[in-house]
Structure 1
Amino acid sequence: MSDMGKDIAEISENYSSSVHDENDDRTLFNRVKDSFKRQDLDISEETKLRSQNMTEYQRTNYLLAKQPYQKNLSQRHLTMIAIGGTLGTGLFIGIGWSLASGPGNLLIGFLLTGIAIFCVVQCAAEMSCQYPVSGSYASHVSRFVDPSWGFTVATNYCLSWAISFPSELIGCAMTISYWNNTVNPVVWVAIFWVFIVGLNLFGVRGFAETEYVLSIFKIIAIIIFIIIGIVLICGGGPNSQGYIGAKYWYDPGSFKKPVFKSLCNTFVSAAFSFGGTELVVLTAAESRKVESVSRAAKGTFWRVIIFYVSTVIIIGCLVPYNDERLLGGNSSEDITASPFVIALANTGSFGTRVSNFMNAVILIAVLSVCNSCVYAASRVIQSLGASGQLPSICGYVDRKGRPLFGIFVVALFGLLSFIVASNKVSEVFDWLFALCSISAMFIWFSICLSYLRYRWALKKQGRTPDEIAYKSMLGIWGAYLGALLSGLLIVGEVYVSLFPLGGSPNAEAFFQYCLSIPIMIVVYVVHKIYTRNWLPIVIPLSEVDLDTGLSHSDVEVMKHELEIQRAQIAAKPLYYRIYRFWC
């Protein structure tokens, strides 16, 4: 390992201390005004000279590792973001479309997608703990696979979050209209737009504290729903319909025919529901300890088992898949199409009261996702600007560690939510989402591919996995499995797009599901033409940069610290060792 790692660590420490050396005698207004000024990197003359000897590829990796974000995220923030940060309309409303394919297909579809996302998050967590750079896995794809591929992943990922922002804002307005439809939804959209953008202007701490509180509410609500659901299934509760059990799994049945096509149909909403689970890994550059990211990533397992698998089983027992209300919604924001609301409304007056509670939970969940949209998209925009793949203004980070230009761009996207006043809102968003329809699955596959190439590069360059600070729970085989399942999910979605369930093949339906495929190809080719970087197609394993931006500057010290940590855990009781393995 070169001495550059030590130099970079020194620079980082000097920068962290210099941020707080401002004159505190200024007025509050001046302090706030100055906080929006650009924070430049504090790089010594020696390191500047050293950086001139870097290749453009190494220089980009270096700059991404040294972006002036504030490391304010603690373990509790990351744990809650990992477990409940992106539980939103995908789970609370979107699974209604999948349930219409049958509870058996719903369960299998969510299990396959859940296994894939757990593999993906573990891969992303290992790389982010090793290289906590701006843009995280989007930047890792450029680093370990190919810059053009990485640019395609980053722009697609950013676009999917940016488009989700106005959609979720409309979801907030529609949720409130469930109680009161006399107020123009544009009013609610405006209020929530100001609220969410304002939150993100408080910096990463504002985002994290909000997510922490909202995630607690969502987690408690889902646990309450699971308990109520079990009681209702067993025949308890007021206005009970008697013992329900697995009645709806037999009549109308577990699988809607044709079975395989119905199964593929669940992949769309399953990917939408799990989309954003990888968000916790994006926080690595702003976390106090990279170990926190690794531990938080383990929470994905519990999220899959408790909040998705358990929920879809209960939903499948309480709502028959042929219930017309599941497909009766006009859009993904239509609360009446939520199987949660349908399941509880079926129990009479008790259900009406509880469904109001669930509606409030859905509002909280949608607000949380809005918050995540601005955070995720703005960070990826900043990383593209910092790496030179977008104009340098996109890489603007102020003295409080806020990617201001990125937040501004996402806020502009949010203004699309004002088309809620139009009767064409559903049609418009159908085509906007078509721009990034397969993005989640494509990004998952790319994360696994970049992880595999990272591990292959270690082996090719004669280095060992002992250099890795925090390894994936599933290792390299988890990456193979994640890539395989992500690829199968893409194939399944393309298949159901070509041959839609209950309809005949048509170009409009296909492009609404798969328009992102030709767009990604065009983005990739245009980037190749612009950079003139046609060969090699991917970065040779022998040339992959494994040193720049490491989270640890001395491998031997890192190994010693890990040995001490393992010894401390081994000395604890069995229950604690089990807890630390899974959490």
Structure 2
Amino acid sequence: MSIEKTYDEKDMVDTSVSPVQDYSLKHDDANVYVDPYTQFEKEDKGFFRNFADSFKPLDLGEIDPNLSGVERANLIAARSPLKRSLKSRHLQMIAIGGSIGAGLFVGSGSALATGGPAAVVIAWILTGIMMYCTVQALGELCIAFPVAGSFVQYNTRFISGAWGFCMAWNYALQWLVVLPMELVTASITIDYWNSEINSAAWVTLFYALVVCINLFGVKGYGEAEFIFALLKVLAIIGYIILGIVINCGGGPKGGYIGGAYWQEPGAFAAGFKGVCAVFVTSAFSFAGTELCGLAAAETENPRKSLPSATKQVFWRIALFYIISLTLVGLNVPYNDERLLGNSGAAASPFVISIQNAGIRGLPSVMNAVILIAVCSVANSSVYGSSRTIASLADQGFAPRICGYIDREGRPLVGVGISLFIGLLCYLAASAHHDDVFNWMLALSGLSSIFTWGSICACHLRFRRALQVQGRGTDELSFTSQCGVIGSCFGVLLNCLILMAQFWVALFPIGKPANPTSFFQVFLCVPILIIWYFFWVFYNKDYKFFLRSKDIDIDTGRREVDLELLKQEIAEEKAFLKSKPFYYRLYKFWC
């Protein structure tokens, strides 16, 4: 029985109708149509009345009060009325370029100065491999369980309620903090052209842009991210071509550079410790890669679009991170004073390399790309935090009102909380905004590491539950290309990164050890420990983890006719096997 059948039958029509078709299914009453996403009947009352009614809640139906906390959370997540209006092009562009932002364009400058070009390449390659394994694991889980809240809900399902509480709040706080920081970064980026106008004016403009985009719900987010990501992808491809030309001496001021900067001042700025210090910046630059999994619950056909989107992450890592940063390390010496002596675009190694080549006009173009990237991440932060807050309420980790989702699939309370926290962006006009935002960054600095490690752990627990309960991967429409080994590698590398950050935080490079520098890197860890034990004692939930035989691997599954699914998968494999080698190779990577 399909998920939609859990609703009250008298309020619904035949759920066999595809949710992707337009409002074409009409009744005898010309003013009544069927919402293609929720399958509920609606009355057309005119534009303004429909707009006002769209903010009303959608009833999720009766829920058995005898269900356990985990079972209740799984059922609510499966029934969520989030709209499935994201198309394949949206999801693929979100996967390819959705989270490319200041971490790559600006943060790579401080990483280059701290570790040197070789350290940057090593850190980004290792983090990139780990991210590919993580996204593959996430793709398998999201296609099997395309439920609201996505991977933050998987921690409760596959590990434990206490760990799910920690990770859900960890992820929500990460995105809540990102919004004001990105808006301030956007105002700083504008200073590259004009520093006379008060920062609060620019912050207001960008804040209004984010509000307008999110009023249109997931459709507005998808279209905005499609445009933003497309511009970022084109800009990075353009820079790769330009970087090769600059390295070969094609700039107005340039001679042949080659690998000169790897010889003098050198490939490493601080040896092995410098490599460890760079990991936190590389992790920050990859933050948001998992958003394609969060969007799975709002995708028309995740089984078809999500596998392709997860594969696109490989190309993003290889082309947009590794190649571009290798060229940056070849074209900019790590001892360039501008890397640490400036803020915003002025500290971007991408801009500095163009300036060093004597090319006029293009630095402003690259600055505009950085501005677009910052606005994109700010927009994504509202999307990520609002959906996570709604999932928190579904799991009983936040007040029930936080799970309010209107008839257009907008988690209004979550969006409102995110935008309210975003008002902290006006601290950009304060003389002490640097201190405030350093501590805000400390709250979410290592959040992504825990999120990614937990995704891999959930995948391992899911596979173990299948094995213990006598089930197999043949009932999955998509399996991770990296398999269990990839998830083991993901967990291991995330643990090693945490250990490296502990060492660097305790003994910073070139500075004496002090509590301030330590907690500005590691503040996230003690907060997680407090959250964990708070939930354990408050809820009297002393289970460290769920036993494999007790894990729920059925609630929320989109495909319930396992025999039909297995037949479809076998037919798809047979079709692929009949194709030429080059086609199979293309489908493997794309």
Q: Give the TM-score, by structure 2 length.
A: 0.93
Counterpart Cα distance in 2 of 1:433 and 1:199: 25
Q: 1:6–1:378: structure 2 CA closer, same or farther, 3 Å change rule? A: closer
* Partner Cα distance (2:412, 2:2) in 1: 30
Question: Residues 270-311 of structure 1: CA distance to partner in whole angstroms, max 9, x if unpaired?
Answer: 011011111111011101112211220111111110011001
Could you say which residue in structure 2 is the equivalent of 1:447?
455
Matched with 1:264 is 276
Q: 1:6 to 1:384 in 2, by over 3 A?
A: closer
Deviation at 1:145, TM superposition (A): 0.2
Q: Any idea what the Cα deviations from partners look like across 1:218-256, whole Å, max 9, x if unmatched?
A: 0000000000000110111323x2110010000000011
Q: Offset of 1:6 from its aligned partner?
A: 8.7
Post-superposition offset of 1:9: 9.5
Deviation, structure 1 residue 329: 2.5
1:184-195 to 2 correspondences below 5 Å = 184-195=198-209
Per-residue CA deviations over 1:435-477 (Å, capped at 9, x if unaligned) read 1221111111111111111111111112112122210011111
Instruction: Give 1:16 deviation, angstroms.
Output: 5.4
Please state if 1:345 is matched with 2:355. Answer: yes
Matched, 1:544 2:551: yes
1:527 aligns with 2:535: yes
Distance change in 2, residues 1:227/1:532 (3 Å): same
Structure 2 residue matching 1:22: 3-state secondary structure: strand
Letter in 2 for 1:415: L
User: Cα 1:223–1:6, aligned 2, differ >3 Å: closer, same or farther?
Assistant: closer
Q: Which residue of 2 aligns with 1:476?
A: 484
1:197 Cα shift?
Answer: 1.4
Change in Cα spacing, 1:400 to 1:6, as seen in structure 2 (3 Å) is closer
Q: Which residue of 1 aligns with 2:56?
A: 37
In 2, the alpha carbon distance for the partners of 1:83 and 1:560 equals 31
- Residue 77 of structure 2 is aligned with which of 40, 50, 64? 64
| Distance (Å, rounded) in 2 between the aligned partners of 1:548 and 1:169 | 39
Q: CA deviation at 1:492?
A: 0.8
Q: What's the counterpart of residue 148 of structure 1?
A: 162
**Alignment partner, residue 21 of structure 1:** 41
Structure 1 residues 5 and 65 mapped into 2: Cα distance closer, same or farther (>3 Å)?
Answer: closer
Consecutive aligned runs of 4 or more in structure 1 exceeding 6 Å deviation: 9-13
Q: How does 1:78-97 map to 2 (within 5 A)?
A: 78-97=91-110
- CA deviation string 1:537-571 (max 9, x = no partner): 11111110111111201111111111222233333
Query: Cα offset for 1:531?
Result: 1.1
* 2:251 counterpart letter in structure 1: G
What residue is the counterpart of 1:425 in the other structure? 433
Partner of 1:321: 334
CA distance in 2, matches of 1:420, 1:21: 47
State the partner residue of 2:467. 459
Contact 1:81/1:280 (CA < 8 Å) preserved in 2?
A: yes
User: Which position in structure 2 is the counterpart of 1:280?
Assistant: 292
- Structure 2 equivalent of residue 290 of structure 1: 302
Shift of 1:375: 0.3
Q: Is the 8 A contact 1:290 1:551 kept in 2?
A: no
Instruction: Identify the residue that residue 139 of structure 1 maps to in structure 2.
Output: 153
Give 1:19 shift. Answer: 5.1
Unmatched tracts of structure 1, length 5 or more = none
- For these two proteins, the number of residue pairs brought into alignment is 566
The 1:508/1:296 distance shift into structure 2, 3 A limit, reads same
Aligned equivalents of 1:130, 1:342: Cα separation in 2 = 45
Which residue is equivalent to 2:588?
A: 581
User: 1:54 Cα shift?
Assistant: 3.8
Q: What's the counterpart of residue 24 of structure 2?
A: none
1:5–1:547 contact (8 Å) kept in structure 2: no
SS in 2 for 1:320: coil
Identity %: 43
Q: Deviations over 1:181-201 (max 9, x none)?
A: 222111111111111011011
> Could you tell which deviates more after superposition, 53-62 or 182-191?
53-62
Q: 1:569 to 1:205 in 2, by over 3 A?
A: same
Q: Against the structure 1 CA distance between its residues 23 and 343, is the aligned structure 2 distance closer, same or farther, given a 3 Å change threshold?
A: same
- Contact 2:179/2:381 (<8 A) preserved: yes
